[in-house]
Structure 1
Amino acid sequence: MIERAHLAIIRAVDDKGTLTEAADALCLTQSALSHSIKKLEQHMGTEVWLREGRTLRLTQAGHYLLLLAKRLLPQFEHAEQLMSQLGRGERGELRIGMECHPCYQWLLKIVGPFLERWPDVDIDVKQKFQFGGIGALFNHEIDLLVTPDPLYRPGLIVTPVFEYEQRLAISAQHPLANKPYLLPEDLQDETLISYPVEKDRLDIYTQFFSLSEFTPKKHKEIETTDIMMHMVAAGRGVAALPGWLIDEYADQLPIKSLRLGSEGIAKHISLCTREADARLIYVQDFIESACKAG
């Protein structure tokens, strides 16, 4: 049977030229090296090399094994290096699930520097899951979940990243723009703009309108934050978003950030990972960077 050790010997002899130097390179004795090849020759029924004085000349079978060694050994060595890096958490893919649409802007601040620090780790971002974000973690669809509504389950590690207040983005020229805070009835004639998410996952419905009989006159879904903010600035609607995100756009657009209710809606962003992945160095690094950026 041809073994990897046989291929390594053939390649070493070709590289070094003599059995002695090949044996030294492989940390073997010359007799052990010769014995290994002799057993192979006996098993295969053909010689691998012929002695010509102190040098060796490969036979046709030997040349074939040499070609095989040059093709297969680098693949073995690459696979071992890859497995070692994976075991140390230095290589892999980080699949990030997003349950926070506005967090894409925040995520981009982390992803760039992370990719520079980890050239052998790829990132993929997923938004839709068959059984929700936590289910996607347990089903290994994703490796890390960014969520404003974490669920604490055995086998998961939840790391709070930053706190924020859910506020209302409104045009600076809107009649309500100067109110200290808003009540549900203030928005009954408004068009509420949101990301394409079910109402039962929108905080403005679950923590604001659900406490009253009032709801917005219209509900419009828009996928991109930039278009949403321009619509708000043009007076085409209002949008419930993290206060920090509204403030970023307020530097460029005529919009204001208003509190929802007298007490406001307090939220926080968390990162959820599987306990089994906690030892991966690049996962730890991503979470630490997210906490600093938050």
Structure 2
Amino acid sequence: MEIRHLKLIREVAETKSLTKAKDALFLSQSALSHQLKEIEGQLGTQLFHRVNKQLILTNAGKMVLESAERILKDLERTELSIKKYVSGTSGTLRLATQCYTCYHWLPSLMTDFKKEFPNVEIEIFHNNNADVEDQILEGAIDLAIIYENSERSNIAYHELFRDEVYALVPTGHPWTKKPYVEAKDFENQNVIIHSYPLESVSLFSQVLIPEGIKPKQVMQVQVTEAVVELVKAGMGVNVMAKWIVEPYLKDNRLALVPVTKRGIHRTWNAITLSDENSPQYLQNFVQHLRCNIGGLCCCDN
């Protein structure tokens, strides 16, 4: 049976007449009569009794009607959900970043976004070790915030902002007397990073690896507060964005030093699938990112 058959059974059962059903189904009475015979022929039984010019469901007809109502209601709910999704009024936005920490921009962003799209849920994914570009292409997430741009096909890169990262050292460290540090300065240092692989860390990808420099030791610490305390204690140096460390500079126990004469700069992008039919809320979320982050990023590598 087809969907049109189920709709016919439901409408005839309600109106008890092909004549009345034809107006709701926008078909002629002869067309409906032909469809009904077709269904009864497929099932090998009558679905309606003809009683006093009315069509009354047989037991077999009641069984078909029960299934028809369930299936058609489910289809109607699905159609409504899809229409809301396409129009951008409801749905789920799955978001990831290249890092674990610093989601402090999210509450204000969500507050503004929810005023515009109250029926859109936001899910946050924290697994930054995975390739978020692959996750976008596979449909596992809808949007990611990254500071790399590999120009992969079928991915749209929406530039958000640029930032610069600095070497974070304790006050009195020899580097504080330098206008900037170079790759060779890291050779005898314990370097604290946020996450592996090293190729994803700006200090390594832009400075150390091209110069063939290996630090004395590399330590992975994923909590910003812990990184700050280790640096204060002289246990190592870190490279992070200026904006993220500013709250920790107030006690004058930390200092920032530029890395290389030209500095380490990153361009942050929001990435999505290149899809002209993407829901409106996804497009608007990118605009909310631009407005709410305001030059801030969400990682300290």
Q: What range is the shorter-chain TM-score in? A: 0.7 to 0.9
CA-to-partner distance for each residue in 1:157-188, whole Å, 9 max, x for gaps?
Answer: 322111111123344x5546965744247666
Query: What RMSD, in angstroms, separates the aligned Cα atoms of the two structures?
Result: 3.8
AA matched with 1:156: I
Identity within the alignment, %:
24
Residue range with higher mean Cα deviation, 36-45 or 93-102:
93-102
Deviation at 1:143, TM superposition (A): 4.4
Does residue 119 in structure 1 map to residue 153 in structure 2? no
Equivalents in 2 of 1:243, 1:56: separation in Å?
A: 78
CA contact (8 A) 1:23 1:29 kept: yes
AA matched with 2:230: M
Are residues 169 and 14 of structure 1, via their aligned partners in 2, closer, same or farther at CA, if it must alter by over 3 Å? farther
AA matched with 1:157: A
Which residue of structure 2 lines up, in the alignment, with residue 285 of structure 1? 284
CA contact (8 A) 2:194 2:222 kept: yes
The normalised TM-score by structure 1 is 0.76
Equivalents in 2 of 1:50, 1:253: separation in Å?
A: 91
Are residues 284 and 10 of structure 1, via their aligned partners in 2, closer, same or farther at CA, if it must alter by over 3 Å? same
CA contact (8 A) 2:181 2:258 kept: no
Equivalents in 1 of 2:48, 2:287: separation in Å?
A: 57
Residue range with higher mean Cα deviation, 239-248 or 137-146:
137-146
1:32-51 alignment, distance < 5 Å:
32-51=31-50
Which residue of structure 2 lines up, in the alignment, with residue 183 of structure 1? 181
SS state of the match for residue 119, structure 2?
A: coil
1:1-294 alignment, distance < 5 Å:
2-16=1-15, 19-53=18-52, 55-85=54-84, 87=86, 94-101=93-100, 104-106=103-105, 110=109, 114=113, 117=117, 119-120=119-120, 123=123, 125=125, 126-129=127-130, 132-138=131-137, 142-171=141-170, 173-175=171-173, 179=177, 181-184=179-182, 190-209=189-208, 216-233=215-232, 235-250=234-249, 255-276=254-275, 279-294=278-293
Equivalents in 2 of 1:38, 1:89: separation in Å?
A: 42
Aligned length: 290
CA contact (8 A) 2:187 2:215 kept: yes
Are residues 25 and 205 of structure 1, via their aligned partners in 2, closer, same or farther at CA, if it must alter by over 3 Å? same
Are residues 224 and 146 of structure 1, via their aligned partners in 2, closer, same or farther at CA, if it must alter by over 3 Å? same
The normalised TM-score by structure 2 is 0.74
Structure 2 gaps of 5+ residues are: 294-301
Residue range with higher mean Cα deviation, 277-286 or 262-271:
277-286
Are residues 57 and 201 of structure 1, via their aligned partners in 2, closer, same or farther at CA, if it must alter by over 3 Å? closer
Equivalents in 2 of 1:213, 1:163: separation in Å?
A: 26
